Amino acid sequence: MHIMDALFGDADFETSKEATALIGKIIAAHNLQNSLLYDLGSCWGGFVFGIQTACPGLQIVGVDKSRIKTWLARLRSLYHRNQNFPRFLKADIFDVDVSKIDLAFVYLPRPLLPALEAKLQKDLKPGSLAITYRVNFPTWRPTQIFVTDLKRRERNNIFIYKKINKILTFDKLEFRK
């Protein structure tokens, strides 16, 4: 089971094109279009390449525990080169250093969210954003929620969390769109 997990990972779902385009606009609205983004659980790189097209100035690192997915994402990156072509790390998201990143993107199985919230709360720098798609953190309150799909509403929402100071405080809810 451990070998299968290391080779193939799990949860092969991709962020939709509509959601990726909207996340590009959200990143630009926060003036973070030239910043460092980590896709925590990058799978085959679908979100990474989509968001790179939307925000070509981003530096992007995809992290996935699956060796095969990481290899394939690296292969795909040969066809998606621009001046900031993305890097892909084969690693467990709980082992990577997130202390220097500006944006963490998260679309992961829900059971991972409590431990990931604790890690990001400890390590993310003030001013950075965490953006989740379809899943939300258990105790943080999002600063913004975007609906990407009116038919399926809650299921396909995008949640924005902003770390605003050193003492682990996140903004209170501002508005709902």
Ligand X SMILES: C[S@@+](CC[C@H](N)C(=O)[O-])C[C@H]1O[C@@H](n2cnc3c(N)ncnc32)[C@H](O)[C@@H]1O
The answer to the question of residue 10 lying near ligand X (CB under 6 A) is yes
Nearer to ligand X, 71 or 94 (CB): 94
In this structure, the number of other CB atoms found within 10 A of the CB of residue 34 comes to: 14
**Interface residues for ligand X in 89-118 (CB under 6 A)?**
92-94, 107-108, 112
What gap in Å lies between CA 135 and CA 158, rounded to an integer? 8
Nearer to ligand X, 33 or 119 (CB): 119
Please pick, from the candidates 24, 30, 35, 46, the single residue that binds ligand X as defined by CB under 6 A.
46
Nearer to ligand X, 161 or 165 (CB): 161
Q: Tell me which residue has tokens 């609906």.
A: 147
Packing angle of the helix pair 67-77, 46-54 (nearest 10 deg): 30
By beta-carbon distance, which residue lies closest to ligand X? 9
What is the nearest approach in angstroms of ligand X to the Cβ of residue 126?
25
**Interface residues for ligand X in 14-43 (CB under 6 A)?**
14-15, 39, 41-43
The answer to the question of residue 65 lying near ligand X (CB under 6 A) is yes
The answer to the question of residue 60 lying near ligand X (CB under 6 A) is no
What is the nearest approach in angstroms of ligand X to the Cβ of residue 95?
8
The stretch near ligand X (CB under 6 A) out of 27-35, 79-87, 88-96, 143-151 is 88-96
Contact 26, 54 (CB under 8 A): no
Sign of CA dihedral 61, 67, 72, 75: positive
Buried b (16+ CB within 10 A) or exposed e, 36-72: bbbbbbbbbbbbbbbbbebbeebbbbbbbbbeebbeb
Buried b (16+ CB within 10 A) or exposed e, 127-155: ebbbbbbbbbbeebebbbbbebeeeeeee
Which residues of this chain interact with ligand X, rule CB under 6 A? 9-11, 13-15, 39, 41-43, 46-47, 63-66, 69, 92-94, 107-108, 112
